[in-house]
Amino acid sequence: MHFDRYKFVRFERRGRIILVTLSRPDQMNAVSGEMHKELAPLFHDLAHDPDSDVIVLTGEGRAFSAGGDFDLLLEQNANPHLLHNAVAEAKQLVFGMLDCNKPIVGRINGDAVGLGCTLALMCDVIVATETARFGDPHVKVGLTAGDGGAVIWPQLVGFARAKQYLLSGDLLDAKEAERIGLINFAVPAEELDAVAFRWADRLARAPQLAARSTKTIINMELKRIAQAQMDAGMAYEAMTMISEDLREAIDAMKSKRKPNFTGR
């Protein structure tokens, strides 16, 4: 692992477990352009780290990740040429998680929204504090949910609930997320570390050839679905990224008013 090239991700080794922390706490770990570039190769690097068998993914501060940074979205809206790299990075990130054969435990310490939600849901075992909320508000801000949400939500909760939450952008709390099968465990905040690292320790003690090959087999179907959807999904998202509706949604949120969408 080349830890020194990461500015917005922190790493800590606990035996054969590596704790990976999204670190932009003053912005609720919202993903800036620079952070997006870092996340793209992250799981490829982790997959090839010789000193770890299990990854624990979490966020610093009170949120797991608030998703895309509004300043980044507005910059891309005004400069469409920036979308080429953003699309490639998003695909590299999603497929990096799906290709990584090491078990990934999501330690969801707070809200996981948008891209942050996709990162959480792509984990293999998801443990969240009861106060955490999950949601993908792409549509709510005028964007296509093309960067992984439309891939993973239907596989976890079925098409009806996936459409309900992706089309509305509604957030659901961790207890409800656990009830409908979106995550594995919703626990009190004081139990988050105990449960997350209990699972990480258990997976680290497992026979690694068997564990990794089993994850690889399970993810084959997810990768097939992602390969079928991601190019179109990212193309649609790029199209909506330059829309007037996106600018209107962000302005409305900043002004604390209802948006007036025009479909342009």
Domain parsing of the chain, residue ranges? 3-189
Residue 171 CA, distance from chain mean position:
15
CATH number of 3-189: 3.90.226.10, 3.30.70.100, 3.40.640.10, 1.10.10.10?
Answer: 3.90.226.10
Query: Distance between CA atoms of 260 and 264, rounded to whole angstroms?
Result: 11
- Nearest by Cα to 29 from 143, 141, 120: 120
Digitized pLDDT (tens) for each residue of the chain, 264 residues in all: 778 889 999 999 999 999 999 999 999 999 999 999 999 999 999 999 999 999 999 999 999 999 988 888 888 888 888 889 999 999 999 999 999 999 999 999 999 999 999 999 999 999 999 999 999 999 999 999 998 999 999 999 999 999 999 999 999 999 999 999 999 999 999 999 999 999 999 999 999 999 999 999 999 999 999 999 999 999 999 999 999 999 999 999 889 999 999 999
Query: Distance between CA atoms of 238 and 222, rounded to whole angstroms?
Result: 23
Strand partners, 186: 128
Angle in degrees, CA 91, 112, 133, rounded to 5? 145
Query: Distance between CA atoms of 52 and 15, rounded to whole angstroms?
Result: 8
